[in-house]
Amino acid sequence: MSPALKPAPPFRRLAPIGLALLVLPLLLTAPLRPAAPQERLQRTAPSGPHPPMYRYFHPERTLDPTALIGTTLLAMAALSGARRLLPRRVPLPLVRGTISGGIVLMGWEAVSALGLVNPVLLPPPTLVLTKLAVYWQLGWLQAHALATLWRLALSFLLAFASAVPLGILMGHLPWCAHFLEPVIHLLRVIPAPAWLPLSILWFGLGNASAIFITWMGIFFPILINTLAAVQRIEPAQVETVLTFGGSRWDVMWQVTLPSAAPEILTGTRIGLGIGWIVLLAAENAATLPQAGLGWLILIAQTWLDTPVMMAGLMTICAAAFLMDLGLRQVDKRFALWKY
């Protein structure tokens, strides 16, 4: 192939410019780096519209911004540079994802460091991570996360255990679907958090009302997906089981559940996403005293402790992402045969 036909790799050409843009904030902030602990308070900016402790040079911060930026740059460079050297190549999406994630993280740090935004409203990631580490060491973060996860798990189990059997029942018995469908479609369109004031009257302030509305949020996506899947079952598959000596019960285990499983999983993924929304809305509405990530964020807001608020959001992000990642792995198994 002639060299003229070979397209120039765009990334390689743009890499020096991009790298320069990334390093520039680092160089600009270099003279402002936090000094040794004993000097820190002295170097705090003396005046400004905000109290000194909320300036970029936060006295509690132990994480050096250059460390964060340096580590991110190093990871990006290592991944893109070592790609060809490693025996099993690092997948390209991972490299690109690290680069875009790194850019966002460093940009965030930079806008805080350069004073482009009010650091009280957008604390730099180094400060957020510091707070995260402190709360982790104190065990508070785990306690709040566990409180939220426990509520979510209970609501999810209740919703799954009620929605799947009901969906199968309605899918198998048309008359049952005719009776229930209007009710379900009317209830389904009500956003679950709208039930909160009423459920507080019904179940009181506390876990019960939060679990009730979270159940409402998770229940319908699973039910609708299960119902649709069961109604679409291939009659030849059911008749195969019947002609091979199977009972109605065998049809359920051999055909209904396996063929509906991918759609039940889709409903579960949608439902869990909605479950997080509803549960956090309930916790943010101060219905649940003393515990939960939503409650932590709410309380941190009253203290104007934005790093803790950000730390709470990061924890939610990590937990929800890991859950969805796990469900995506299950979904990959279904991809072997899904229509």
Partner 1 sequence: MAQSVLRADNVRKIFYVYTDPAGTTVVSSKKQFSLNLWRRRSIYELLALDDISLEVYPNELVALLGPSGCGKSTLLRIFAGLERPTSGRVAFKDQEIKDPDPQRAMVFQSERAVFPWLTVEKNIELGPKLQGVPRAEREERVRRIIELIQLNGFNTAYPATLSGGMLQRVAVGRALINRPEVLLMDEPFGALDAITRNALQDHLIRIWQETRQTIVFVTHDIEEATYLATRIVIMHPRPGRIKGVVPVTLSHPRSRTDSAFVEARRKVADLLGD
Do 282 and 204 touch, CB atoms closer than 8 A? no
CB of residue 166 to partner 1, shortest distance in Å: 23
Q: How far is Cα 230 from Cα 237, in angstroms, rounded to an integer?
A: 12
Nearer to partner 1, 226 or 315 (CB): 226
| b/e 94-111 (16+ beta carbons within 10 angstroms → b) | ebeebbeebeebbebbbe
Tell me which amino acid residue 289 is: P
Exposed (0-12), middle (13-18) or buried (19+): which is 33, by Cβ within 10 Å? middle
Binding to partner 1 (CB under 8 A) within 78-137 occurs at none
CB of residue 268 to partner 1, shortest distance in Å: 17
Both tokens of 200, joined, read 């507080």
Nearer to partner 1, 257 or 319 (CB): 257
User: Coil, strand, or helix at residue 56?
Assistant: coil
CB of residue 178 to partner 1, shortest distance in Å: 11
Both tokens of 95, joined, read 């490299």
How far is residue 300 CA from its own chain's centroid?
A: 20
Q: How many other C-beta atoms are found inside a 10 Å radius of the C-beta of residue 63? A: 18
CB of residue 177 to partner 1, shortest distance in Å: 13
Nearer to partner 1, 171 or 275 (CB): 171
Binding to partner 1 (CB under 8 A) within 243-272 occurs at 243-246, 250, 254-255, 258-259, 261
Q: What x/- string results for residues 307 through 336 when contact with partner 1 is judged by CB under 8 A?
A: ---------------------------x-x
Binding to partner 1 (CB under 8 A) within 285-304 occurs at none
Q: What x/- string results for residues 226 through 245 when contact with partner 1 is judged by CB under 8 A?
A: --------x-xx-xxxxxxx
Do 282 and 210 touch, CB atoms closer than 8 A? yes
Find the binder of partner 1 among 16, 302, 325, 337 (CB under 8 A): 337
Nearer to partner 1, 273 or 331 (CB): 331
CB of residue 235 to partner 1, shortest distance in Å: 9
Q: How far is Cα 325 from Cα 335, in angstroms, rounded to an integer?
A: 15
CB of residue 231 to partner 1, shortest distance in Å: 14
How far is residue 254 CA from its own chain's centroid?
A: 34
Binding to partner 1 (CB under 8 A) within 174-233 occurs at none
CB of residue 302 to partner 1, shortest distance in Å: 52
Binding to partner 1 (CB under 8 A) within 141-170 occurs at none
HSE of 277 in the Cβ direction (CA atoms, 13 Å)? 13
Nearer to partner 1, 254 or 284 (CB): 254
| Angle formed by the axes of helices 207-231 and 140-172, nearest 10° | 40
Tell me which amino acid residue 106 is: M
Backbone angles phi, psi at 124, to 5 degrees: -65, 155
Both tokens of 236, joined, read 């030849």
Nearer to partner 1, 97 or 258 (CB): 258
Nearer to partner 1, 89 or 338 (CB): 338
> Applying CB under 8 A, which residues contact partner 1?
234, 236-237, 239-246, 250, 254-255, 258-259, 261, 334, 336-339
